[in-house]
Amino acid sequence: MCGIVAYVGRQNAMPILVEGLRRLEYRGYDSAGIAVHRAGGLAVFKAKGKVREMEARLPARLKGTVGIGHTRWATHGEPSDENAHPHTDSSERIAVVHNGIIENAGALRAKLEADGTEFTSETDTELLAHLIAAEKGDSLIDNVRSVLRRVSGAYGVAVLDGDHPEEIVVARNGSPVVIGIADKAFFAASDVAALVRHTQQVVYLDDGEIARLTKDGYEVTTLDAVPSEKTPSTIELDDMEFDKADFAHFMLKEIHEQPDAVARTLRGRLEPRFSTARLGGLNIEAKDLLRFKRIKMLGCGSAYIAGVLGAKMIERLARIPCDAEPAAEFRYRNPIIEQDTLYFAVSQSGETFDTLAAVEEVQRKGGTVLGIINSVGSTIARTCKGGVYLHAGPEVAVVSTKTFLCTLTVFALIGLYLGRMKDVSPAEGKRLLTALEALPEQMQQVLDREDEFAEVGRKYAHYDHAYFIGRNEGFAVAMEGALKLKEVSYIHAEAYPASELKHGPLALVTAQTPTIAIVPNDDLVEKNMATIEEIKARQGPVLAIAQGELPVEVEDLIVVPETHELLAPVLMLLPLQLIAYHAALARECDVDQPRNLAKSVTVE
């Protein structure tokens, strides 16, 4: 999704901005641009396509020490040079980059157009540039404040003014803005990925805050000009973590990082003495946790699917009714929030707009919500009362892999913790704990078989459609397997409960529609065999992901090791991730930045 980077200091801003934009590429975007103060006014360059296409338009010598940059993911208006940010007013005195959506843009734009203002783009952002330029205040920050008080919607913005060439103004409402503090230089960005190369000292803006940055310092106030007390925090991220190392793609690197990532998620959280888990950040006393009668997971995309699996795990272990719901569906149905329901917000980035809005809906109605988050210090993490961090390290590929499996690991820990306070015996707790300890090593064994999965991925790459089926946990694995395949290879993939196949989809099963069957070694194996027979009878090719040989012959069989039954999804997803990756390579898809998708969806 859209990304912002801004720099004010003593160095040439252009290469710093371009490098910052590269660091934001992973979020998904379709055009890019920068604006820099130079002698004689603002210089603005932008282009549809990748950052390198915008870079090709930059003059060799563009000197200026103050500038802003943007990667745009189209919302208002198609991807084009005109719609790319920065946007300026008619005299090109004001330049604005913006993440988010201005909801009352239509009415405000119509008014300006009626007064004779000519717009050059279809964006809601251009409106901000015209409105700020029309303000008559002495300072840029006052002018921006005055405009932002009149707009509704979500924004993170950065603004340059040709009449104030020493400064940048940034503001936040619903879309993240973080200030980076370096030696004689200040940065602003929508994502620490763009700053981490230069500094680890950051200040997060809160909603309704605005900041003025010069090369000598920064000041944060509210939109009502009340000074905000901000304490810088240190981000524990290494620039190298945003590097592909020797891997062809971030997706592949992150798939192979999973054993280490899961080991980090587990570190210090297993309590063998009582066969339970230790979770320091929940901020709820054990006795208070026991009063909850239901649990609900909220998230979007893969985070929602991880919640589906998490709900099944926790329900089995803690014998508390659990379910998961897409965060956007939840927030728009005026949900009944019960005091004895515990909500978990699941989000890699901690910035997904719909998940945040669902959290706020729960909190507004007096409910308790905890975060399962990867990004430390992110908005959802700060909004929740407590929670569990994944510690997976940065995930750069648009599609989620390592954070998905780390989220499942966290749910296993929560299930173990709650279960051991209820009916799970010490012996049963120990069985899960031991399986968790062995999990990273088992994951590595599966990943070592990449060649086998790559061949399968290539073999299935020519199909246009695929079904993924499973029962119970297996169905949730099928959901994530199908999502991975469609996200990166653009093969139409649909997940179905295996039991539902004959109630409709079987009509579409032919020799041209393979089915990927998730067949854990549980008490439903026979039922799954019956479904596979039904598919074979219609000439449908079947690829089975199983935990042992199957009594039925299938086109392809991938066997993963036995583990605790609740952890089987972790091992079964590894081949599915690699199959999706290699199918996408065979189809020459942009694996790390699939078309139309964004890493972090910060708009509705």
CB atoms within 10 A of CB 395: 26
β-sheet bridge partners, residue 157: 98, 171
Least separation, in Å, of the C-beta of 398 and ligand G6P? Answer: 5
Contacts of 551 (CB under 8 A, 6+ apart): 529
H/E stretch holding 42 reads strand 41-48
Question: What residues line the site for ligand G6P (CB under 6 A)?
Answer: 299-303, 347-349, 352, 355, 398-400, 597-601
Helix residue ranges per DSSP H, 153-208: none
Least separation, in Å, of the C-beta of 82 and ligand G6P? Answer: 26
Which C-beta is closer to ligand G6P: that of 125 or that of 348?
Answer: 348
Least separation, in Å, of the C-beta of 119 and ligand G6P? Answer: 30
Identity of the residue numbered 288: D
Q: What radius of gyration do the chain's Cα atoms show?
A: 25
Active site residue 599: yes
One of 2, 322, 384, 406 is an active-site residue; which one?
2
Which C-beta is closer to ligand G6P: that of 12 or that of 75?
Answer: 75
Which C-beta is closer to ligand G6P: that of 164 or that of 484?
Answer: 484
Which C-beta is closer to ligand G6P: that of 213 or that of 390?
Answer: 390
Identity of the residue numbered 546: A
Tokens encoding 518: 């998730």
Residue whose CB is nearest to ligand G6P in the complex, by number = 301
Which C-beta is closer to ligand G6P: that of 494 or that of 592?
Answer: 592
Task: Report how far residue 287's alpha carbon sits from residue 59's, in angstroms, rounded to the nearest whole number.
Answer: 65
Which C-beta is closer to ligand G6P: that of 140 or that of 251?
Answer: 251
Task: Report how far residue 510's alpha carbon sits from residue 602's, in angstroms, rounded to the nearest whole number.
Answer: 40
Which C-beta is closer to ligand G6P: that of 89 or that of 325?
Answer: 325
Q: What share of the chain is helix, strand, coil (3-state, %, to 5)?
A: 40, 25, 40
Least separation, in Å, of the C-beta of 58 and ligand G6P? Answer: 30
Which C-beta is closer to ligand G6P: that of 191 or that of 473?
Answer: 191
Task: Report how far residue 327's alpha carbon sits from residue 348's, in angstroms, rounded to the nearest whole number.
Answer: 14
Least separation, in Å, of the C-beta of 452 and ligand G6P? Answer: 26
Contacts of 292 (CB under 8 A, 6+ apart): 320, 340, 341, 342, 368
Contacts of 248 (CB under 8 A, 6+ apart): none
Least separation, in Å, of the C-beta of 85 and ligand G6P? Answer: 21
Phi-psi region of 343 (alpha: psi -120 to 50; beta: other; left: phi over 0): beta
Tokens encoding 359: 């959290």
CB 500 within 8 Å of CB 550? no
Which C-beta is closer to ligand G6P: that of 126 or that of 395?
Answer: 395
Least separation, in Å, of the C-beta of 352 and ligand G6P? Answer: 3
CB atoms within 10 A of CB 176: 24
**Does 561 sit behind a cis peptide bond, omega within 30 degrees of 0 on the bond before it?**
no
One of 459, 484, 486, 599 is an active-site residue; which one?
599
**Which CA distances in Å does 550 have to 209, 450, 469, 530?**
60, 22, 16, 12
Active site residue 300: no
Least separation, in Å, of the C-beta of 28 and ligand G6P? Answer: 7
Which C-beta is closer to ligand G6P: that of 8 or that of 194?
Answer: 194
Identity of the residue numbered 392: A
Query: What secondary structure does DSSP assign to 123-155, as a single string?
Result: -SHHHHHHHHHH---SSHHHHHHHHHTT--EEE
Least separation, in Å, of the C-beta of 386 and ligand G6P? Answer: 18
Task: Report how far residue 210's alpha carbon sits from residue 170's, in angstroms, rounded to the nearest whole number.
Answer: 6
Least separation, in Å, of the C-beta of 302 and ligand G6P? Answer: 3
**Which CA distances in Å does 345 have to 320, 372, 507?**
18, 6, 37
Contacts of 101 (CB under 8 A, 6+ apart): 75, 76, 124, 153, 154, 155, 603, 604
Q: List residues with catalytic annotation.
A: 2, 599
